[in-house]
Amino acid sequence: MCEDRNVLVVKSGGNMRTILIEDSAAVRQSLKKMLAQLSDEVQVVGEAETSRAALALIEQTKPEVIILDFVLKDGSGFEVLRHAKDHEPPPLVIVLSNQSLPPFRKKAQEQGADLFFDKANELEMIVATLHEKFKARHAHELALAHNP
């Protein structure tokens, strides 16, 4: 693990670098508490409550996972989603929103969201999803190590 004063970078094989982009401090706290269950797999390396801060955070941290609310203090998270997906490799973007009607889910998917969870009813599904993603990544890394 290498550390800088402003950015924490975890080398491959370590925890999945994750950022939380959510305008509600209470929801961010709940997410961090839930993700603490996965402390060996997921590391929250940053938080943002505005799209402007989110764009800067993506550049600083190069996250593997972004948990994104589309309603932010300074506008929509769609710009953040498009920006995130322009990176190589693109991060896994999990949209977490109270606006979960089918047209909204469809728009999120069209813009590049990998997963969409309803904030009111599916929040806890994020932990299981990230655990499965970590196991899959770990299995892939092991396969590469044994078959160079």
Element (H, E) at 114: none
Q: Indicate the SS3 state at residue 64.
A: coil
- DSSP string spanning 11-66? -TTSPEEEEEE-S-HHHHHHHHHHHGGGTTTEEEEEEESSHHHHHHHHHHH--SEE
**What is the domain count for the chain?**
1
Q: What is the pLDDT of residues 119-146, one digit of tens each?
A: 989 988 999 999 998 888 878 777 877 7
Task: Specify the pLDDT at position 99.
Answer: 87
Which backbone phi and psi does 30 adopt, to 5 degrees?
A: -60, -45
Per-residue exposure over 99-115, b if at least 16 CB sit within 10 Å of its own CB, e if not: ebeeeebeebeebebbb
- Per residue in 21-64, pLDDT (tens digit) is 999 999 999 999 999 999 899 999 999 999 999 999 999 999 99
CA 10/CA 43 separation, integer angstroms: 9
CA neighbor of 123 nearest in space, from 142, 96, 141: 96
Neighbours of 3 (CB within 10 A): 9
User: What is the SS3 assignment for 95?
Assistant: strand
Please give the residue range of the domain that contains residue 76. Answer: 2-146
What pLDDT was estimated at residue 6?
30
Residue with tokens 């550049």: 59
Ranges 52-61, 75-84, 102-111, most confident = 52-61
For position 129, which CATH number holds?
3.40.50.2300
What's the mean pLDDT in 69-76?
A: 89
Confidence of residue 11 (pLDDT cuts 50, 70, 90): very low
pTM of the predicted protein model: 0.85
Residue 2 has pLDDT above 50, yes or no: no
Quote the pLDDT of residue 48: 96
